[in-house]
Amino acid sequence: MKVYKKLQEKKLREALSSLTNNRLIGMVLGAFVTILFQSSTATTVVLVSLTSASIISLRQTLAVILGADIGTTVTAQLIALKVTEISLPVVGIGATIIFFSKRHKHKRIGQVLMGFGLLFLGLKIMSDTMYPLR
């Protein structure tokens, strides 16, 4: 069991190191993870844990944390710009791309659009539902 754990730790270390060696890619990774998880705090806690376990260096961690902060800002701006109002058309565009595209890459892009559209549509529905409780 110890050999398996060491092997997995080595693979994790190599994957994270290759993703965060370039500061710009590390920053983009941090923004993407934060937008995905909707929490820069969770991203930072995981990064601090990985740094204290010596899996990634402090230099790599700082770039990803900067990206996490940028991701939080992007998420806040998307909500402030009322992106929820155009969420249903985005879902429609994504579904159209999925159904009528023949290339796998285009279908993936349609799935991403549809996913973000559904995310913001869900936020709009929850917001509208909670309005009477204000």
Q: CA 48 to CA 37: how far, in whole Å?
A: 17
Q: Tell which wins on pLDDT, 127 or 83.
A: 127
Classify each residue of 28-44 as buried b or exposed e, where b means 16 or more C-beta atoms within 10 Å of its C-beta: bbbbebbbeeeebeebb
Q: CA 116 to CA 24: how far, in whole Å?
A: 24
Ranges of each domain in the chain = 2-80, 83-133
Banded pLDDT at 3 (limits 50, 70, 90): low
Lowest mean pLDDT across 17-26, 60-69, 105-114 = 17-26
Q: CA 116 to CA 93: how far, in whole Å?
A: 11
Q: Give tens-digit pLDDT for 32-88.
A: 888 887 778 888 888 888 888 888 888 888 888 888 888 888 877 877 777 778 888
pLDDT at 54: 80
